[in-house]
Amino acid sequence: MFVSDCLGVSPEGHLTIGGCDTVALAAKYGTPAYVMDEGNIRQNCRQFKASIDEYYDGNGLVLYASKAFSCKEIYRVVASEGLGADVVSGGELYTALKAGFPADRIYFHGNNKTREELIMALDAGVHRIVVDNLTELAVLDKLAKEKGKVVDILFRIKPGIDAHTHAFIRTGQIDSKFGLALENGEAMEAVREALSFQNVNLAGLHCHIGSQIHEIEPFELAAEVMLTFIKKIFDETGFLVKELNLGGGFGIKYTDEDRPQKYTAYMQRVSTVVKKKAAQFGLPVPFVLIEPGRSIVAPAGITLYTVGAVKEIAGVRNYVSIDGGMVDNPRYALYKSSYEVLVANRAADPKDYMATIAGRCCESGDLIQENARIQKPAPGDIVAVLATGAYNYSMASNYNRIPRPPVVFVKDGESRVVVKRESFEDLVQNDL
Ligand SMILES: Cc1ncc(COP(=O)(O)O)c(C=O)c1O
Ligand SMILES: N[C@@H](CCCC[NH3+])C(=O)O
């Protein structure tokens, strides 16, 4: 019935998540509020883990790409499910460490890590630093030398795959700010340099072709390109790359139009390519990592808002104003992303009203959805936007000095706050 199977409707016609009534949650925690079903997050972690174990014969690891949603509790949850984590900034690393996430399961990414972040990662003893470019490689080797360490690295490679997704979230093609290109010899030059350096150890390669991808073929192509590069490295230098991180990017269902692939189908088809190519090249199958972010947390989350004014502009459109907007979910403003929206206190009623859901910022583009079909709302109703568990809280801002909403975890009918609502005092705490 809904885009995510953690959602349902109560006998009173209220939307439920993780066995909790969303109208009661809105009354208890206020709105706007992010609500996430911990059970759904854990189930997603388990599905990825089980399928990587099955298709790579236990020779693989799932990393949670924590840019999708980062707070202390999510690191605790994914750590307890046996996943590693991909962090992309000093802030994410700090949060993970504060949550007690084991450093030896942390992979540190970023296309322009600062010197301070590299030092922080070295001091923390993260498992791998994913090096983006030659400048970073040289800086890292020097920093590791100063600390008397040898740091294990992966190189981020652009496999030259143009995945079918929004241009802003496509990353695998040569015209991308991320990583080292194969076409112009830059990637091979980086490998040779790393092999000549004393304080970096080339543990493996990484690629990530983009996000919200529904086809499996681009992932198969990327795996083939990466295996071919591993073979080229072996032939030209004699060095055997033992670890291959194939990134994240698996699409999820935001609306009924989305047709995501089953993750087991992805794992089955991509592992077949990896094994086939390794056999063809006479090389051992590398240790394989994947980095899902969105697909672990997005389906588990919803955002609850309260309706303010409803402006019906005859012959133009109906604006339904909510008490949040681009500050807590900038994805429509950025990418025109589609979402399913409904009135949570009348979830079973027909969606017979066309509404543009407008936020409260001083921006005409502050919209959550245009011309969406929802139940006709009245002021005071609770609106739910579905599948907001990824890239919502993590991309939220304080524009117009609006405090960020809380994050509430639900599970089996119980709820608890894992991130408190920001207060006005929080907003001024760094002001002098
Ligand atoms: C390097 C890297 N890994 C993993 C991810 C996670 O992607 P997704 O949330 O689409 O699974 C991203 C974001 O696109 C990324 O840049
Ligand atoms: N933030 C983006 C995805 C970027 C993925 C990170 N590399 C989104 O909301 O879809």
- Ligand 2 site, residue 211, Cβ cutoff 6 A: yes
Strands 128-131 and 151-158: parallel
Instruction: Indicate if ligand 1 lies below 6 Å from the C-beta of 170.
Output: no
Q: Is there a binding annotation on residue 293?
A: yes
Domains in the chain: ranges and CATH: 7-37+301-428 (2.40.37.10), 109-292 (3.20.20.10)
Confidence at residue 160, expressed as pLDDT on a 0 to 100 scale: 87
Average pLDDT in the 141-154 region?
Answer: 98
Q: How far is the CA of 185 from the centre of ligand 1 (A)?
A: 25
Residue 168 has pLDDT above 60, yes or no: no
The pLDDT score that the predictor gives to residue 1 is 83
pLDDT reported for residue 222 = 95
Active site residue ranges: 362
Element (H, E) at 251: none
pLDDT band at 171 (very low <50, low <70, confident <90, very high): low
Indicate the residue type of 341.
Answer: V
> Which ligand minimizes its atom distance to the CA of 86?
1
Predicted ipTM of the assembly: 0.98
What is the widest separation between alpha-carbon atoms in the chain? 72
**Beta-bridge partner residues of 188:** none
Please report which ligand is nearest the Cα atom of 44: 1
pLDDT score at 175 = 78
Phi and psi at 422, nearest 5°, equal -70, 145
Closest CA to 111 of 134, 142, 145: 134
Is the CB–ligand 1 distance for residue 107 below 6 Å? no
Which pLDDT tens digit goes with each residue over 181-231? Answer: 999 999 999 999 999 999 999 999 999 999 999 999 999 999 999 999 999
Q: What is the pLDDT of residue 161?
A: 84
CA distances from 284 to 40, 155, 288 (A): 35, 19, 12
The single-letter DSSP state of residue 168 is G
Residue 29 labeled ligand binder: no
- 249 touches ligand 1 (CB under 6 Å): yes
- For ligand 1, the distance from its centroid to the CA atom of residue 181, given in whole angstroms, is 18
Radius of gyration of the chain, Cα coordinates, nearest whole angstrom: 23
